[in-house]
Amino acid sequence: MTLSRCFGTWILFSRAAVAAKGKTGNKRHYLVSYYQPIMPGIRVKPWNRVDGPIYSLATTANGKGNLNICSYVTPIAMKPKRFIIGVYKDTKTLANLEANPIGLLNYLAKDQANHITLLGKKSGHSTDKITKLGEKIEHVGDGLYMLKGAIATLRLRFMERLDCGDHWAWLAHVDSYENLRDAPPLTLDELKRLKLILA
């Protein structure tokens, strides 16, 4: 760190900034250009710099259930309690919701990252995830499945949707919820740490 006095104020410059800019006698110039050479050096896109929760959305249609992995999930209103969920096009989840607009949102626990490969990287169009999950799921009615070990579940009724390109933004009403377990949640940062998604 380098302590410098600019415009009558003491300012702490990082060693990296000094190395990047080199020494200059012109403190005013140095200060003005301080952020510009440093900030573009952050390669991670802003929306990937903030951690967020990981869920599995259970859906069902024509007597067959399915589960995916989703992170484009946000509470959007308090009264009534509503969420918006980004649903990727061409998925089994989307086909199920179009046929039967209900779902069970599983809040995944930190120790459930082992589900990512089957639920988030394979499609119910070609893989019977319910059979593959076997004892790891429990039917909770209406053809929907809870992932054993989830920290909470929400029963959702899907309402209106907005075409957003590769995803639909789908408004869902929370019909009920259940807390199941006191455990830390699974997050994007944990998936990056486990190298299940790109950092």
Ligand X SMILES: Cc1cc2nc3c(=O)[nH]c(=O)nc-3n(C[C@H](O)[C@H](O)[C@H](O)COP(=O)(O)O)c2cc1C
Q: Which residues bind ligand X (CB under 6 A)?
A: 54, 66, 68-72, 86-88, 91-93, 116, 120-125, 191, 197
**Of 30 and 83, CB closest to ligand X:** 83
State whether residue 175 is helix, strand or coil.
Answer: strand
| Nearer to ligand X (CB atom), residue 33 or residue 127 | 127
Q: How far is the CB of 191 from ligand X (least distance, A)?
A: 6
Nearest CB to ligand X, comparing residues 13 and 88: 88
The nearest distance, CB 56 to ligand X, in angstroms, is: 8
Q: Which C-beta is closer to ligand X: that of 28 or that of 89?
A: 89
CB of 37 to ligand X, least distance (A): 33
Shortest distance in whole angstroms from residue 188 CB to ligand X: 7
CA dist 78 → 87, 103, 115 (Å)? 21, 19, 30
Q: Do residues 148 and 131 make contact, with C-beta atoms less than 8 angstroms apart?
A: no
Phi, psi (deg, nearest 5) at residue 73:
-140, 125
CB of 122 to ligand X, least distance (A): 6
- H or E element, residue 190: helix 188-193
Beta bridge partners of 173: 82, 157
* End-to-end Cα distance, the chain: 28
Question: Tokens 């490969």 belong to which residue?
Answer: 117
- The two most distant CA atoms of the chain are separated, in Å, by 75
Q: Which residues of 95-109 are buried (b: 16+ CB within 10 A; e: fewer)?
A: bbbeebbbbbbbbbb
What is the nearest approach in angstroms of ligand X to the Cβ of residue 156? 13
User: Of 53 and 149, which CB lies nearer to ligand X in the complex structure?
Assistant: 53
Question: In the complex with ligand X, which residue's Cβ is closer, 38 or 169?
Answer: 169
SS3 165: coil
